[in-house]
Amino acid sequence: MYLRDLAICASWHLPANERDEFRGLFDRTSHVVVESVLAWIPRRAVMLDNLAKLNVAVGDPKGFEVLYDKWQGVGTYYVEAFDFQAYASKSSTGRQSSVLELLGAGFSYVGGVSCSDISLCHKAIEKVRSFGLPLPALNSEAFWLSMPPYKRRSKSFRENIEFLVRHGS
């Protein structure tokens, strides 16, 4: 199975008050990075432990003896030591850099466990870094210019369809 999806989130094993306090900030600031990395990972090219999706969960896994769990094609890599306070105090560039490091750690750990080739995943992370941090907001013109050409074509196709629908043609 090829890797098709990627996510990063606060671990559900954190206490509810701590998880909810930082969830909004963490999700808002990490989503643009995850989408950018996923766009640069070639489709039907990365076989990472037979996963269709890799989740990177930050925070203590509480009671789990392993840092990586896999079930029905979805793997979760737990990052034990993560300081939400330090993350919240960083600039947007620092936050996005932290997310890239977390994704790189997840790819490296799962690739090491499964003896998978993760070079394309790390190249995708480097492509995102080379664009420059902080990344622009999702759906901005600058964001789409940072995407691979095939992603830009899909955006222009979607805009053409929306134009036709709005104008009744």
**Residue extents of the structural domains in the chain:** 5-135, 136-169
**Averaged confidence pLDDT in the chain:** 82
- pTM confidence score: 0.81
CA atoms within 13 A on the CB side of 79: 21
What is residue 82's DSSP assignment? Answer: -
Residue owning tokens 């977390």:
102
More confident residue, 41 or 162: 41
Peptide bond into 134 cis (omega under 30): yes
Q: Say yes or no to pLDDT of 134 above 80.
A: yes
CA 155/CA 90 separation, integer angstroms:
32
Percentage of the chain surpassing pLDDT 90? 37
60 vs 91 pLDDT, higher one: 91
**What gap in Å lies between CA 7 and CA 55, rounded to an integer?**
5
The residue written with tokens 């369809």 in the block is 161
